Amino acid sequence: MLASHIDGIKIIKPIFSTSEFSNASDVYSENIFSQDLEINDRFIIDHQVIIKRGVIRGIYYQLEKDVQSYLIRCLKGVTFCVFVDLRIDSDTYGEYFSMRISDVDQLQVYACEGFAMGFISLSDVATVLLKTNKEWNSDNCRYIIHDDPELDIDWFIPNDEIKPSDKYGEAKPFDDVEKF
């Protein structure tokens, strides 16, 4: 596991065993995650998303009983993911963690409950696997605008080339969204 400057974010590098015939890893094991990585979320949903370059998913989160934790990895291509700390009592409230992940580095990023998340494809096409510990509830979902000057996130793609997802019309500035 690699360090992050924000408590609640963990960067995970799966261990691969290789031979001349294969390259294999247990990219998720409930026992390893809970015992070795101290991640006790029970992931119940795998979302697989295929997105084209410049398409941004998020920045979104859910409220109340539907607050989610996330485990994200890029199966194909290159993805840039962002997690914004919405935990009012956190020392890093209002800060964000961001990272490029790809099918080459095989890194995974975990965020505990209390973060908003978003990701964008930096390659022509990217396939992302996102695990969550709660079901999706559109009634409790909120969105933060991706180019909020308060957050000042560099998405590594010119803003005029970014294509927000369908729900983006509901997005608000960071200062105006509900927090935890």
Q: What is the CATH number of the domain that holds 121?
A: 2.60.120.10
Q: Is residue 166 part of a domain?
A: yes
Q: Which domain holds residue 65?
A: 9-176
- In contact, 134 and 62? CB cutoff 8 Å: yes
Q: Is residue 140 part of a domain?
A: yes
Q: Is residue 1 part of a domain?
A: no
Task: Please tell me the pTM assigned to this model.
Answer: 0.93
Strand partners, 129: 48, 73
Domain count, the chain: 1
C-alpha count within 13 angstroms, C-beta hemisphere, residue 16: 12
pLDDT tens figures, 125-149: 999 999 999 999 989 999 999 999 9
Q: Is residue 146 part of a domain?
A: yes
Q: Is residue 18 part of a domain?
A: yes
The reported pLDDT for the residue numbered 44 is: 96
pLDDT < 70 stretches in the chain: 166-167
Q: Is residue 3 part of a domain?
A: no
Closest C-alpha among 74, 64, 7 to residue 38 = 7
Reduced to 3 states (helix: H, G, I; strand: E, B; else coil), residue 45 is strand
Q: Are strands 55-62 and 163-164 parallel, antiparallel or unpaired?
A: parallel
**For residue 155, which amino acid is it?**
W
Q: Is residue 88 part of a domain?
A: yes
